[in-house]
Chains A and B, each alone.
Chain A
């Protein structure tokens, strides 16, 4: 009996090995930011499934939610030789370490062998690295703006703000909202203060000089950043952030907004998908405008195309994976697939995306976007990861008075 069992097990192992040896296709290691609660997670999974079905290849999906820790992990993987075959990542300064190390392949080099690669994209909208080459095939752009909870505003007798929303009106509204027992601003200062940082910086400058990075705390850009951090402190001291903003996760504060406990949330276009999937009634929410101060208008926002698909040198140099990687990126950035990801965002597609019918929140975003008069990229994308981690990590120290805004900016500049 034992002999028969041993023989059977041995047979199964041999057959298993044979099956592996003769299996069709290859396994691609793919890392993207379409993980966690990303609104396009479902679309990404569907696109991957379609790719696997059409090619016989397998995708080992290592996607995760995009945050500073995820970015650091991706960069560490490159540095330790554990990079994926295909990476969907930021195309700004964050990608410079692996681009300058020659760990990814340029579009030019890929087109030498695959002339049709990314030809559905406008070349002028592809991100250019510091060496003058283009590496990433963009998916779609993003916008950052203010989400509002209509029910909370209505309970407090406040209208949904329009494109002429001023900072003073906003402060008055926050006070009313607070007096009515709601939290004015849903934001985790300890985890995701960067959306507010962008707009507070722009409120202390202009959309034209938004991307100026300070060289010294004394220069104009430095002064803007210091003023932005002081605005954070003023809002915190006024009690407009959640009571647990220094210990809450981003997921907690977003859910607070979703549950009708908070009125305002600054977030990105990706959050529309989150509310589409998780909100009880999409009609409770609208996309509005971040209140403006100084020379900035509320109709000026943050936006652009910041992410794209990279093929790594490791995959390109592997004859078994080269074609699989090229085909993967081509399929995931085709007009048809990108149209499933896009609702109100810009794309680099020559023919443009053709999203299906919009839900109430997507329509609200489209209406708000129609009133946007100017956009600038996120200035945090132009500084090093170390500087960013230090700056955002110190916001909690600034609002609690443990560190001055000036010292916090100076420390970040020293690391940039």
Chain B
């Protein structure tokens, strides 16, 4: 009876087709329409197009000549790199550390995962206060440590030269740090789950052979964690390309001086604030292409090994 269920595939279709139809209607058709939109002149969401652009590939030409787009791409690729190094790197270190302790592991899992459940908008507002120019938490700390210069004016007023954490010298740190911080816990939980799946017998055998902690990590944990790490890296890269909410709340439209664009924030600004829907669609296509290309590269570089 059971074998009949597996031979007759028709019931499976009943479950597969709705999900497939859903994806066609809400993902693939909009994406196809989005590609079409890149060739049209559209002056607002929901507005009818005013015909083809002249030339029809005008938006793609603009992608290569638009200085803001270049900035957005550069920042996004840098964010992707930072994501790999810091988000996944820190998550890996934390996971390895938590895996070695016997008491309180569950506590640390909850604590590190907690930022994920807070909305990015709330986090953006919180970090805005932390990095506020006058009276922000970081600047107050620097002031109390005597790291901010000040002078007394003829009127007796003390003029403090506050540090602008959103200016050209600091904005990358101020923008990237909260993004890194928010998602470390996400990769941490995935990696801890991967670590839990490694048999303790292997560690016991290695310990009997005289392997110390570092050697156990180097020759047992990391190789066996490779597939999970690969998944984390692909998720981190595709996630970094889509980052929007937290930078938008903190930096808005390209602050400072059009140097703070990311592909996500630039696409939003063009589509919703400038009503340049066709160009916004073109940026969206670029984001998808970048996502596919970079995740493929990541898959090839960190290809999951069947030997493990």
Interface residues of A (CB under 8 A from B): 68-69, 72-73, 75-76, 78-81, 97, 155-156, 179-182, 190-191, 243-244, 246-248, 252, 256, 261, 385-386, 389-390, 393, 396-397, 400, 402
Q: Check: B7 CB closer than 8 A to any chain A CB.
A: no
| Contact A244 B167, CB 8 Å, known A72-B273, A97-B44, A190-B255 | yes
Give complex CA distance A283, B273 in Å: 39
| Contact A179 B167, CB 8 Å, known A79-B44, A79-B47, A402-B257 | no
Q: Check: B227 CB closer than 8 A to any chain A CB.
A: no
Q: How far is the CB of B128 from chain A (nearest CB, A)?
A: 8
Q: Mark B25-48, 1 if CB is under 8 A from A, else 0.
A: 000000000000000000111110
Check if A179 sits within 8 Å of B256, measured CB to CB.
Answer: no
Q: Mark B251-283, 1 if CB is under 8 A from A, else 0.
A: 011011110000000000000111110000000
Give me 15 other A-B pairs in contact (C-beta within 8 A), A182-B155, A244-B162, A389-B273 excluded: A72-B273, A76-B272, A79-B46, A79-B47, A81-B46, A156-B155, A181-B157, A190-B252, A246-B256, A252-B132, A252-B134, A386-B276, A397-B257, A397-B258, A400-B257
Within the complex, which residue of B46, B158, B253, B275 is in contact with A181, where a contact is CB–CB below 8 Å?
B158
Number of A-B contacts (CB under 8 A): 84
Q: Check: B159 CB closer than 8 A to any chain A CB.
A: yes
The dominant DSSP class at the A interface is helix
Chain A residues closer than 8 Å to B153, beta-carbon distance: 179-181
Check if A155 sits within 8 Å of B133, measured CB to CB.
Answer: no
| Contact A389 B167, CB 8 Å, known A180-B153, A190-B255, A247-B255 | no
Q: How far is the CB of B281 from chain A (nearest CB, A)?
A: 15
Give complex CA distance A72, B154 in Å: 47
Within the complex, which residue of A79, A81, A244 is in contact with B166, where a contact is CB–CB below 8 Å?
A244
Chain A residues closer than 8 Å to B151, beta-carbon distance: 181
Chain B residues closer than 8 Å to A68, beta-carbon distance: 273
Check if B134 sits within 8 Å of A180, measured CB to CB.
Answer: no
Q: Which of B132, B134, B151, B154 has the most CB of A within 10 A?
A: B134
Chain A residues closer than 8 Å to B66, beta-carbon distance: none
Give complex CA distance A72, B133 in Å: 28
Give complex CA distance A97, B256 in Å: 31
Q: How far is the CB of B288 from chain A (nearest CB, A)?
A: 22
Q: Check: B164 CB closer than 8 A to any chain A CB.
A: yes
Q: How far is the CB of B248 from chain A (nearest CB, A)?
A: 10
Chain B residues closer than 8 Å to A256, beta-carbon distance: 134
Chain B residues closer than 8 Å to A155, beta-carbon distance: 155, 157
Check if B44 sits within 8 Å of A247, measured CB to CB.
Answer: no
Chain B residues closer than 8 Å to A73, beta-carbon distance: 272
A-B contact pairs, 9 of them (CB 8 A): A72-B273, A76-B45, A181-B158, A243-B164, A246-B255, A247-B255, A256-B134, A386-B276, A389-B273
Check if B133 sits within 8 Å of A247, measured CB to CB.
Answer: yes
Give complex CA distance A402, B257 in Å: 9
Chain A residues closer than 8 Å to B164, beta-carbon distance: 243-244, 247
B275: nearest chain-A partner, CB-CB: A386
Q: Which of B151, B155, B167, B253 has the most CB of A within 10 A?
A: B155
Chain B residues closer than 8 Å to A76, beta-carbon distance: 44-46, 272
Q: How far is the CB of A101 from chain B (nearest CB, A)?
A: 9
A251: nearest chain-B partner, CB-CB: B128
Question: Interface size of B by Cβ–Cβ distance < 8 Å?
Answer: 32
Check if B155 sits within 8 Å of A386, measured CB to CB.
Answer: no
Chain A residues closer than 8 Å to B47, beta-carbon distance: 79
Within the complex, which residue of B46, B161, B167, B276 is in contact with A247, where a contact is CB–CB below 8 Å?
B167
- Beta-carbon contacts under 8 Å, B208-243 to A: none
- Beta-carbon contacts under 8 Å, B264-307 to A: 272-276
Give complex CA distance A69, B249 in Å: 12
Within the complex, which residue of A179, A190, A248, A400 is in contact with B154, where a contact is CB–CB below 8 Å?
A179
| Contact A180 B155, CB 8 Å, known A256-B134, A386-B275 | yes
Chain B residues closer than 8 Å to A386, beta-carbon distance: 43, 274-276
Sorted from nearest, which 3 A-B pairs have the closest CB atoms? Answer: A79-B46, A181-B153, A247-B166
Check if B273 sits within 8 Å of A180, measured CB to CB.
Answer: no
Check if A244 sits within 8 Å of B133, measured CB to CB.
Answer: yes
Check if B273 sits within 8 Å of A181, measured CB to CB.
Answer: no
Check if B133 sits within 8 Å of A248, measured CB to CB.
Answer: yes
Chain B residues closer than 8 Å to A180, beta-carbon distance: 153-155, 157
Give complex CA distance A402, B164 in Å: 21
Q: Which of B43, B46, B159, B256 has the most CB of A within 10 A?
A: B46
- Beta-carbon contacts under 8 Å, B46-69 to A: 46-47
Chain A residues closer than 8 Å to B46, beta-carbon distance: 76, 78-81
- Beta-carbon contacts under 8 Å, B141-160 to A: 151, 153-155, 157-159
Chain A residues closer than 8 Å to B166, beta-carbon distance: 244, 247
Q: Mark B106-128, 1 if CB is under 8 A from A, else 0.
A: 00000000000000000000000
Give complex CA distance A14, B110 in Å: 38
Check if A181 sits within 8 Å of B159, measured CB to CB.
Answer: yes
Give complex CA distance A101, B46 in Å: 11
Give complex CA distance A75, B274 in Å: 12
Chain A residues closer than 8 Å to B157, beta-carbon distance: 155, 180-182
Check if B257 sits within 8 Å of A396, measured CB to CB.
Answer: yes
Give complex CA distance A179, B157 in Å: 10
Give complex CA distance A307, B154 in Å: 46
A261: nearest chain-B partner, CB-CB: B134
B132: nearest chain-A partner, CB-CB: A252
Give complex CA distance A256, B134 in Å: 9
A68: nearest chain-B partner, CB-CB: B273
Give complex CA distance A246, B157 in Å: 24
Q: How far is the CB of A134 from chain B (nearest CB, A)?
A: 24
Q: Which of B158, B252, B275 has the most CB of A within 10 A?
A: B275
